[in-house]
Structure 1
Amino acid sequence: MRALARKGKSAAARLYRGYNRHRVSNAPAPSTKQVRILLLHANGMGGTIRTVFNLAGYLARDHDVEIVSVLKEAEQPFFPIDPRVKFRFLDDRLRPAPNPLRALLSKRPSRLIPKEESAYHRFNLWTDLKLARYIRSLENGVLIGTRPGLNLAMAQLALPSVITIGQEHVALRTQAEPVQALIKWRYRRLDALATLTKADLADYRNTLPKKPRKLIRIPNAVPPMTGGVSKLDAKVAVAVGRMTRIKGFHRLITAWQTVAETHPDWKLRIFGAGPQEETLAQLIVELGLEGKVELPGPTSDVGAELERASIYVLSSRHEGFPMTILEAMAKGLAIVSFNSPHGPKEMISHEVDGLLVKPRTNANLAASIIRVIEDEHLRRGLAARAIETARTYDVDAIGQQWDALLAELLARRTGTYTRPERRPAETPESSTATNPESTDPAATGEAADPEAADPEAPRQEAPRQEVRHRSL
């Protein structure tokens, strides 16, 4: 029976590859004119959604951009979006049509998304069907995924004639081991993988046995915000984020008890919503911090709230590339953050444009906040240099990196790509240990694997054991 099953899978794989070759042979010429970006829920709240909207608005200057949202659970987007950007929703959960097939499949768990993916519970067999049909309908253009589950589905199902780019907003090391195992196998089929941090880029470089043709680090850009910079005269510290345990707001509130004892005239405001909101409200009462710590809820005008504060605090257990830090820097706030290697450590220069604190140490967090409160010269110096740092993440500067990536991937597809010459090391002592960006492939984004680097090489076929997903 096992031998028969293997023969059946092998035959299905050959049929699938043959069908792909047939469709690719009749597909339009490679193009980057149309750019589609896959999101879980475009009308929700969250840093990934905000940054995707920012990127989509920039790309819409020269491309036809469509955000493809798996779910629709709110009538309108929470964040503002460039009117040139189009939207498509695969599963409208606000107005479910009386479809018996949908009713049946919606009750069954997803087979396309790994169980260990953090958003697995949001998917089901109906979303599998809609997502698979959409991806398989594309014949050319660019498709960008924004989370592991979507990247894995895209790598598995997209026709080789579609330029595929995986974008990672969460560090590889934080993914569950089964998800990492799938990433190691399937991500090689992507045309490019874009990380937000150098640390994460190095992790992918060292982890993936076979790599996409392009590995590159492109950070997020500072989104447009209302108002001006902070005057730093308000006795207010702020934090922004979804109220989940990973954000560490319970640690921040506990640390603020110490701050409030020495500086009762200062106030902490935490903007956001989520499953921990009630627990955090209870903690405020238990610690006697009513009136000193506020939970105003979510805000769509982050810029205005930052302008009315003087300090921004990030207390997360770990972060990918926290946009709130960039936003606070652009608004000229003094930053105090736990020292997470994938994000804050790369964004903040300790004692220059912010303070980095040993992770998960409430006392140290409180001490750093008190230091910034009591030392006005330090507070204003950190804030001024933070503004300079934020300018390096301007949307035009970051957008040009995306322009260059799309142009390179298209050139690889059309056979016109020329690999840039590497500059020789300036001294014999130069090495990747002392200057990793000068010679390390991780810095240039070039694939070290010969097969992955060859622009003429066909996209890798998926392993036989994964064929069952391809039937969707």
Structure 2
Amino acid sequence: MTQREIFFVANEVNELGGVGRWQTQMAGLFAERGHRVRIIGIAPPGAPMDLGENPPFETLTLYDRRPAGRPGRRTLGRLAPSVRSHVANRQAAADRLSALFRSAGPGAVIIVTQVWAMEWVALADTAGCLVIGMSHESFEACRNSSRYGRVRRYYKDVDRMLCLTQEDADLWAAEGDLNNVGFMPNPLPLTPGTSSPRTEKAVVSIGRLSHEKGVDLLLDVWAEAAPRQPGWILRIHGAGEYESALRRQCTELGLDDSVEWAGQTGDVTGALGRASVFVQSSRGEGFPLVLLEAMACGVPCAAFDCSPGVREIIRDGEDGLLARHGNTSQLAERLVRLMAEENLRDTMGERARENVRRFAPEVIVHRWEKLFTFLER
């Protein structure tokens, strides 16, 4: 195996969230295989994530505070002094990247985890390096955002643009101006030694209390499901800007006796060990780590089929149940089935635990190594 210098260039080094967790895990996996790994953030995190003591990789953040957006398309000579200063500062930051990339020598790999960070990498000297750009969201989610045009612009000439699923890669390729598209799933974040006993009458949700995660939809789902299975509780782990509104909704729906607001958790395995069913009601997802975690813990999942990543992880009817995107009555029906049928929970939970091993860390990191070798040919 060739030992390499691997750079992750991201919006932030350690922003709390799925991309940050993925990045930290992959950096550790590469370091375990003898590579020298560095994570470079453009800006400081808004909600920092603890990287632990002595992480096996180096970190660097280019700016002390988040830089302003890019200026309009005008010639530099006509820009106001403040804008000229902004452009000069951006180029100076890119020059720092160039120096780091040059110091690594030929064969280095630059993995750009978010397209905003690619705006700096595009200004840097990457000669002799492999450059891989990533989109950690579904094609549809990206197309409906400001990132869509930037992905097409900034990732057009990288060595590989990676999505999370084959379905997303096909959709990007069909756009016609990206001929470098591939896909790479996220690795399993944890490998617990035992399954959840699935004995507690608890449905668990874990995620930010935000519009995107659809906890308001989940409360509507629970209002239909809970009366049909008395004695069960919905335990919601998470915090966020929508918490007050969601608690009011819970009260208005008469659900206070069957909903437990458990707050954020640093012990995902422990939270899932107390679950018999996991539910996800997101409006959009990329390749959700929490589904992988629930399945690894032997907890069958019911979820909205909101993205290719969700249906890539859950094999509907085999190791979990999917409902049409946004159809709260159908998701309630899926939940009731799992709550009512112990044998179904046990069968699907154990199949989930087995099936999710196709995303085991050693499997995914090997796929990355094969990609590096292929791109060097």
TM-score (norm 2): 0.86
- When residues 233 and 130 of structure 1 are mapped into structure 2, their CA distance, relative to the original with a 3 A threshold, is farther
Q: CA deviation at 1:286?
A: 1.8
Give the residue type in structure 2 aligned to 1:173.
E
Quote the residue 1:397 is aligned against.
363
Residue from 49, 54, 68 that aligns with 1:109 = 68
Give the residue type in structure 2 aligned to 1:132.
A
Quote the residue 2:118 is aligned against.
151
Greater CA deviation, 379-388 or 140-149?
140-149
Alpha-carbon distance between aligned partners in 1 of 2:220 and 2:207, rounded to the nearest angstrom:
17
Quote the residue 2:167 is aligned against.
199
Contact preservation (8 Å) 2:217, 2:281:
yes
Residue from 60, 74, 77 that aligns with 2:49 = 77
Quote the residue 1:250 is aligned against.
216
Aligned pair count reads 357
> Is 1:355 aligned to residue 321 of structure 2?
yes
Alpha-carbon distance between aligned partners in 2 of 1:283 and 1:79, rounded to the nearest angstrom:
35
Q: Deviations over 1:85-119 (max 9, x none)?
A: 222122345xxxxxxxxxxxx6x7310799xxxxx
Quote the residue 1:24 is aligned against.
none
Quote the residue 1:292 is aligned against.
258
Q: Deviations over 1:36-92 (max 9, x none)?
A: 112223333211111111111111122101111223347973365873122212234
> Is 1:68 aligned to residue 34 of structure 2?
no
Give the residue type in structure 1 aligned to 2:170.
A
Quote the residue 1:184 is aligned against.
152
Alpha-carbon distance between aligned partners in 2 of 1:152 and 1:34, rounded to the nearest angstrom:
21
> Is 1:330 aligned to residue 296 of structure 2?
yes
Map 1:248-397; keep pairs closer than 5 Å.
248-397=214-363
- When residues 183 and 72 of structure 1 are mapped into structure 2, their CA distance, relative to the original with a 3 A threshold, is closer
Q: CA deviation at 1:197?
A: 0.7
Give the residue type in structure 2 aligned to 1:85.
F
Q: Deviations over 1:343-399 (max 9, x none)?
A: 111221111011010111111111110111001111111111101111111100111
Unaligned runs of 5+ in 2: 74-84
- When residues 259 and 344 of structure 1 are mapped into structure 2, their CA distance, relative to the original with a 3 A threshold, is same
Contact preservation (8 Å) 1:358, 1:364:
yes
Q: Deviations over 1:7-51 (max 9, x none)?
A: xxxxxxxxxxxxxxxxxxxxxxxx962111122233332111111
Quote the residue 1:142 is aligned against.
109
Q: Which runs of 4+ in 1 moved over 6 A?
A: none
Alpha-carbon distance between aligned partners in 2 of 1:129 and 1:273, rounded to the nearest angstrom:
38
- When residues 148 and 291 of structure 1 are mapped into structure 2, their CA distance, relative to the original with a 3 A threshold, is farther
> Is 1:165 aligned to residue 132 of structure 2?
yes
Q: Find the residue that maps to 1:328 and give its secondary structure.
A: helix
Q: Find the residue that maps to 1:357 and give its secondary structure.
A: strand
- When residues 349 and 283 of structure 1 are mapped into structure 2, their CA distance, relative to the original with a 3 A threshold, is same
- When residues 197 and 130 of structure 1 are mapped into structure 2, their CA distance, relative to the original with a 3 A threshold, is farther
Contact preservation (8 Å) 2:94, 2:123:
no
Contact preservation (8 Å) 1:113, 1:153:
no
Give the residue type in structure 2 aligned to 1:135.
L
Alpha-carbon distance between aligned partners in 2 of 1:298 and 1:128, rounded to the nearest angstrom:
36
Contact preservation (8 Å) 1:54, 1:81:
no
Quote the residue 2:18 is aligned against.
47
Q: CA deviation at 1:311?
A: 0.7
User: Which entry has the higher C-alpha Rg, 1 or 2?
Assistant: 1
Give the residue type in structure 2 aligned to 1:111.
R
Greater CA deviation, 153-162 or 342-351?
153-162
Residue from 58, 62, 67 that aligns with 2:29 = 58
Quote the residue 1:87 is aligned against.
59
Q: Deviations over 1:249-287 (max 9, x none)?
A: 100011111222222311112222222222212212222
Q: Find the residue that maps to 1:165 and give its secondary structure.
A: strand
Alpha-carbon distance between aligned partners in 2 of 1:203 and 1:52, rounded to the nearest angstrom:
24
Q: Find the residue that maps to 1:38 and give its secondary structure.
A: strand
Alpha-carbon distance between aligned partners in 2 of 1:125 and 1:281, rounded to the nearest angstrom:
43
Alpha-carbon distance between aligned partners in 1 of 2:71 and 2:289, rounded to the nearest angstrom:
29
Q: Deviations over 1:195-235 (max 9, x none)?
A: 111111101211142423xx322101111355631001011
Q: Find the residue that maps to 1:321 and give its secondary structure.
A: coil
Q: CA deviation at 1:289?
A: 1.8
Give the residue type in structure 2 aligned to 1:59.
F
Q: Deviations over 1:160-190 (max 9, x none)?
A: 3332111211122222465323322332211
- When residues 408 and 206 of structure 1 are mapped into structure 2, their CA distance, relative to the original with a 3 A threshold, is same
- When residues 245 and 88 of structure 1 are mapped into structure 2, their CA distance, relative to the original with a 3 A threshold, is same
- When residues 210 and 373 of structure 1 are mapped into structure 2, their CA distance, relative to the original with a 3 A threshold, is closer
Alpha-carbon distance between aligned partners in 1 of 2:71 and 2:5, rounded to the nearest angstrom:
25
Give the residue type in structure 1 aligned to 2:168.
D
Alpha-carbon distance between aligned partners in 1 of 2:293 and 2:53, rounded to the nearest angstrom:
17
